[in-house]
Structure formats: C-alpha cells, structure tokens
Structure 1
Amino acid sequence: MASLIHILGLSIWLFLASQGSKSAVSQKPVDIVRGSVYIDGGSSIGMIDEDFICATIDWWPPTKCDYGTCSWGNASLLNLDISNKILLNAIEAFSSLKIRLGGTLQDKVVYQFRDDPGTCTQFVKDSTEMFGFTRGCLPMSRWDELNNFFKMAGANVIFGLNALNGRTIGSDGSTAGAWNSSNAESLIRYTVNKGYTIYAWELGNELSGNGIGAKVAADQYAYDVITLQKIVQDVYRGFETKPLVLGPGGFFDANWFTKFIKGASNSLQVVTHHIYNLGPGISQGLRDIENI
C-alpha cells in the first residue's frame, strides 16, 4: 500500500541557472508550498550494497575553528562520549556500520607504546605547525575504550594510520624518506594481542597527488603500502580472516593513482579516494543548502 507523506512548510530557494550569473540567485524564499507526496513502497527502482553506508570519526580537538565557528566540540576520537546510549543505539541500528577512524590530523598522531605508560601529549593549537596543531597521541586506555564500544555497537572499524611518521617535509609539502612503520606496528600488535577486531587498516590521509599539507610520491607510497601489508600478514599470521589494506585516502590524480596502484597492486585490497562535490565548509554551495 502506498504511504502518504504530508509536506508542510517547505521553503524553497530558487537558483535561476538560466540567467547564467551569480547575481541571478534569488535572495528571498518563494511562497510556502503545501502538498502531498505519495510513495509506492511495493516496488524498488534500485539497490545499494552493504558498503554504501559508512561514517567517519575525526581527530579534531575542540579548539579547531573554521569560518568563524568552533564546531567540532567533543566529537573527536579522543573525547567523544562513548557512554552515550543514543550514540550506541544509532550505530547498532545500521547493523555492521563501517566507521573510519581518521582525518586530517591522523598523520600527526603517535600511538602510545604498550611498554611506555608515560606522557601521551594531546594536540595543542599552534599556528606555526602544519594544520595548525602540534602532534597528538592516542593513549592505549582510550584505544581500549573505543574498541570495547565498537564491539558492543557491532561496527566494522577502519583505522587510518600515520603515514608521515619518519619522513621529513619540505617547505613545499614534498616529503623525503620512507614511512617509519614501527609505531603503527606496535599499535597493530597491541590490537591483536587484546583480541580487538579491525576491518581494515588504511595508510595516510590526503597525501596523494599534490597532497593537503604534505604529499608523498606515488612510488614511495606504493612501497609503504607493501610494508603495511607485510606487517598485517605477519601479525595476523594464522588468522583465517585478515584486515584489508586500504589507501591512499586522498584526492584523485590520474597519473599519481596509476603509478600508485601499479606499484602496490599485490598488497592493496581497496583503493580509497576523497571527493567533496560541494567544496569546503566555506563554499557557497554548502551555504545555499544550509539556507533551504
């Protein structure tokens, strides 16, 4: 039986594309439209696969501000309230929701060594640093809490590893040297020893092509992914199912991606890239949507 949805108070902003100018954007809403929409629930017109729905939890601290607002609050991996039942129920409702743990600051994160319970310094705002923050640290106690939470929620965790560790970064953002995988390997071994299940390990965030803040050459990135795959194969030896290896998690550049995929093809299970169709948070496209 068809469902009936009443739409009341729908305010529509018109974009007069035919005028061919930004000045043609209407700056006032049209008359309120009231009506009914009938949805035929008896047949489908398309299907999505189980990987269609996913989410990301970022690293940004509360002091991260953009475009006149500090909107991140306590929403990062380090301070998200994972005791919140609403959050738990929301993730459970998706049934095996894939959650990527990562973002811009992931390449500035170090992981507390299991045998070094000392100081684990958090991100500090510093305009002289890349991305405006110093390096931060993931305490193993917090890693324990996160994994226990995601286990309860039934989420599939994709963790973004620090791909800049051990490299030197030039003034133009270019990097030199191979990825120092020792800190990441320590985290992976700790994760396995604690019995935590990780769906995939992803290397780096937006370091492909021209990069964001920093960039890694395609052939070097491929070599680093091969290193990660060797670590995963070694640490998960004897496991029937091993985590996937993902990369590069950056913006698409055809020449760069071609070299990268060719070089890492035997070690890379999933190719990931980022796309922002409406631009950054300051873009007019997003502002128009906010005004709807």
Structure 2
Amino acid sequence: MEFGWKLFLFLSFLNAVIEAIDLKIATDRAVQIVSDKYLSIAIDTGIIRHNWERLNFSSPKVESLARALSPCYLRVGGSEADFMKFSPDTHNVRFYNQSDLYMSDYYDNKFVNFTMFSNQFDELNNFVTKVGWSLIFDLNSLLREGGQWLPDNAKLLMDYTSQKGYKITGWELGNEPNSYKHHIGYSISGSQRAKDYSKLHSLLNQYPQWRNSVIIGPSTTQLSKTSAEKYFTEFLQTGGPDIVTNPTFHQYYINGREATIDQFMDIDILNSLMPEINKGNKIAKHPPYGKTWLGETGSAYGGGAPGLSNTYVAGFM
C-alpha cells in the first residue's frame, strides 16, 4: 500500500510540473540560408602518397554514394600537401592498405616528400567530374627559396590541368602554417603567408578560368589557440579582404589518440565550436571579407579516435 501512495504522489507531482506549451513555427521567412554545398568533404593529401589507399574510384558503390552527396566541395589537402610535388609523368605506384599510417605520420611527424603523378591526378579529376563534385586543391607552400614561395610546381600542375580541361573550382596554399614550427621546425609568419597568397593570385590570373576561382586560407588550427588566432588575424590584416575568397580555420574537438567515449558526450566539449566560429567571424567580418569557412573539421584530430569517430556517438559532434 505504501508503494501505491508513493506512486500516486510521484504521478501527481509530474502532473503539477508539466505544462502545455504552444509552439508556433513561422515558415514565411528563412532564418538562415546556406549554400547548396554547405555539407562538403575533405580528404587528406596523404592518401595520394599511398596511391589512394582503399579509396577505389572505379567502385560502383563509391560512385553511387558520392553522387548522392552532390553538389558539394571536395577539398584535397592537409599536412602532407606541403610535401607533395606534381609530375606530369605517369607511374605505376604500389597500392598501400595501411590506414594507421596517417595517424602515425601525424603524431610522429614522419612527413616525407613524395610525388603525385599525372595518372593519379587524372583519377581524381575524372571521379569528381563523374559524380558532380567541385574540387578544391591544396598546393605545396614549402617549396621555397630565400624565404619566398616558389610557384613553379604549382604552375606545372595548373598547365597540366588546363591542357586536360579539368575544372578545378578552388585552390589553397599549405596547411596549418601556424603549427609549422612545432611539426617541422620551420616558421612562416602570417604576413609572409599573405605575400605567398599574393603570388598565388598572380599565378591564377594567368589562366582565364581561375581569375575568379575560390581561394581559401590561411587554414590555421583551431582559433581557441592564441597562436592560431594571432596568425589568422595577421594574415588577413596584411592581405586585406581580397587575399582569399573565404578565410578558413580548422576545428577538432579532441585528441584522437587520447579520446574517451565520455568526451563525445561532454557538454562543454560539444559547445566549444560556436565560440571559435564567432571569433573567426569577428576577425574576418563579412563584408568586406568573404564568409569564413571551416576548412577541416571532425570529432578528433590525428586521424580520428579509433572505435569512436566511426560510430554513432561521433554524430553528437
């Protein structure tokens, strides 16, 4: 009988605190309009070094799934973009199947120079054309002499691209330059990176199809870090509103190597993105600057958190 009274009192309490709420949704105007390419994709340049690893461009399943995501941007870039050179030659490259290479490369700083051959670039462009994606390609910014960026290899790639008639939508120069000192012991200031981008503009202006192309950068790490915020600001102040069409920074919630499942549901961690977006928009106010983009984002940096980033719980991020 005592249990019955407790249940009655509990239900009475619920009835007392629950109130009817009338919710009205105005459908006569949009609160925010996003691009039809708002949800887009980034893949790491490192998979080119491993000859696309397990990404099979000729797979009907991959093609079907990719076409369903169209229209979208495909940004090919990342840390290894700064170690890649293009060659118009063709080459039979060994097919790797070692996903853990990306994570170990990132954490152990085992970056090595490598070559992207024309047949690999052909595969990429044929695929994005087939599925209706728009390609943004990241160029090597560490090809330098006397502290200045050397655009020769970028021009070689653009000449080849132009000859083949490939329609690359946008370009990027380097990756996370504010962290170069940490990863490779070499520094490029934000103001110098703006000068590098001015050279990129001059190069693109030699090709009619790219005079008004998308240009993104400086592609810093997350703006919650003071060094990244200072770099992002210095780059934009030096280069001005026209240095890039869309200022970019990268955002990851946690360290993939140390991540726990509890972090994927931690409210403070989940709420950490919005302050970074607000900071980016405040620094690169639109207008006169183009709208700020997240050039890379994901649950965990360093290749993701094994057993977590590819599961349901990552959807909260």
Cα deviation, residue 220, structure 1: 0.9
> Do 1:206 and 1:212's aligned partners in 2 also have CA atoms closer than 8 Å?
no
Q: Spell out the pairing of 1:52-131 with structure 2 (5 A cutoff).
A: 52-61=38-47, 77=52, 80-112=55-87, 114=88, 131=109
Structure 1 residue 136 and structure 2 residue 111: aligned? Answer: no
Q: How many residues align?
A: 228
> Do 1:208 and 1:248's aligned partners in 2 also have CA atoms closer than 8 Å?
no
Partners of 2:170 and 2:48 lie apart in 1 by: 27
Partners of 2:133 and 2:57 lie apart in 1 by: 13
Partners of 1:122 and 1:137 lie apart in 2 by: 14
- 1:145 paired residue number: 123
Cα deviation, residue 288, structure 1: 4.7
- After the TM superposition, which of the residue ranges 44-53 and 176-185 deviates more from structure 2? 44-53
Structure 1 residue 222 and structure 2 residue 194: aligned? Answer: yes
Secondary structure in structure 1 of the residue aligned to 2:42 = strand
Cα deviation, residue 85, structure 1: 1.6
Letter of the aligned partner of 1:274 in structure 2? Answer: H
Partners of 1:45 and 1:283 lie apart in 2 by: 41
Cα deviation, residue 242, structure 1: 3.3
- 2:220 paired residue number: 250
- 2:166 paired residue number: 196
Q: Deviations over 1:113-172 (max 9, x none)?
A: x3x55798999x898x982142111110111111011001000111111111126xxxxx
What TM-score comes out, normalization by structure 1 length?
Answer: 0.66
- 1:26 paired residue number: none
Structure 1 residue 161 and structure 2 residue 139: aligned? Answer: yes
Partners of 1:241 and 1:226 lie apart in 2 by: 13
Structure 2 unpaired stretches of 5+: 1-23, 265-307
Cα deviation, residue 264, structure 1: 1.8
Cα deviation, residue 56, structure 1: 1.1
- 1:30 paired residue number: none
- 2:34 paired residue number: 49
Partners of 1:177 and 1:122 lie apart in 2 by: 36
Partners of 2:56 and 2:94 lie apart in 1 by: 20
Give the number of the structure whose residues are more often helix, by fraction.
2
Cα deviation, residue 280, structure 1: 2.0
Q: 1:62 to 1:248 in 2, by over 3 A?
A: closer
Cα deviation, residue 189, structure 1: 1.6
Cα deviation, residue 104, structure 1: 1.7
What TM-score comes out, normalization by structure 2 length?
Answer: 0.61
Cα deviation, residue 95, structure 1: 2.1
Partners of 2:79 and 2:62 lie apart in 1 by: 23
Q: 1:216 to 1:121 in 2, by over 3 A?
A: farther
- Quick one: percent identity of the two aligned structures? 25
Residue of structure 1 aligned with 2:205, choices 210, 224, 233: 233
Partners of 2:257 and 2:152 lie apart in 1 by: 38
> Do 2:45 and 2:79's aligned partners in 1 also have CA atoms closer than 8 Å?
yes
Q: 1:287 to 1:199 in 2, by over 3 A?
A: farther
Q: 1:62 to 1:286 in 2, by over 3 A?
A: farther
Q: Deviations over 1:219-274 (max 9, x none)?
A: 1101000000110111x23x487322211112232322222112222332111110
Cα deviation, residue 62, structure 1: 11
Structure 1 unpaired stretches of 5+: 1-39, 64-73, 168-175
Structure 1 residue 185 and structure 2 residue 155: aligned? Answer: yes
Max Rg structure: 2
